Structure 1
């Protein structure tokens, strides 16, 4: 069984339907699908079709279950339930903010009572309903298709331990020599073909 959880797919639900038709126990179904039995119980509870007018037609059907799951996930998307937050995210994406910057700034400023993570924004950008907005064009890499999860590798250590800021000499803290001041160069959006660059430090200009 995989340690990384993933949603049941339509082929999984088709196998589940056929196994249920054969009266296979839930524990055996979970074993054949490579899932925990609680996943199967939850799937049957949430996505079983109920016909109150014709109870004999009620039951678990793979196609209907898949549609019910998609509709529920579409309704529960945060950026669909909160239009103001959705517009704010779109504006900042068009201003060349990354999803990580947007999520972090919203959390730090407390602008929205709803908390979102970068993954929520990425899914919003690449979801089927909002993909025509072309928001992927404002991302740093401008990818029209999102890379598979296994291809998103984290970068290793970028700096050697010898360059760790904790190992700098004590004399640097006095800032008596030129070059010991800390700078934070920020490059904003380009205007008229040139970049406006602002440098700031602890009361000093670099």
Structure 2
């Protein structure tokens, strides 16, 4: 039996514990080259050979992938061929959030920041309050951008479909021929301390006319005062229609026989321009 020398009192060098292996270098240049080849119509296999990557890597770049770690968390990586989503200019951009963080660090007030970014002060105040770090209360622009993206990707399922109690309450009142405005105001009074049991009138209208999102019975729309099963198009002026069958005529386009009053009945409503005594004389 061979005795193992003791290491007590001897400095041990060369041991590195819990050191994570460094991952591969990013393939940004190869990704750009692969994307150019795909734009030229080159197949996936040929592009992978040209760039010098595995064909499976090219497939993941082209179609994206979804992975699940040991803890059950799912991570989705989009395709590199997808164009970034264009966000409306009324939302703050990542560059504007970086500017907000820099100006806050420099000691500028919210109104000064709003003037420099040409935004409303309420927009800047709401952005800082919503998207700052909840632990440190500091505003970090990139973290704020991620929080805003998560908020924009919220569930599009309607509030009435999510809340069964609220949906049943609204459905019962609609069956009793209550208007959405009456239901909304009653909910605010009865459930003043519970925001989840409050709903706007427009939400009820959308739930009626789009039952796949709202969860209400479409037949309940006929119990409204308008009795319509579908909404009128009012967003664009060329889509709006009047409630009259025939289009209305302007006063400036009235015919000549109305002006000369040659026929009985054309004197109606003319008291503003001609003395009403003339009309009384005609009836005598």
What is the TM-score of this pair, normalised by structure 1? 0.40
Bigger Rg, structure 1 or 2: 2
Q: Taking CA–CA contacts closer than 8 Å with sequence separation of 6 or more, which of the two structures ends up with the larger relative contact order?
A: 1
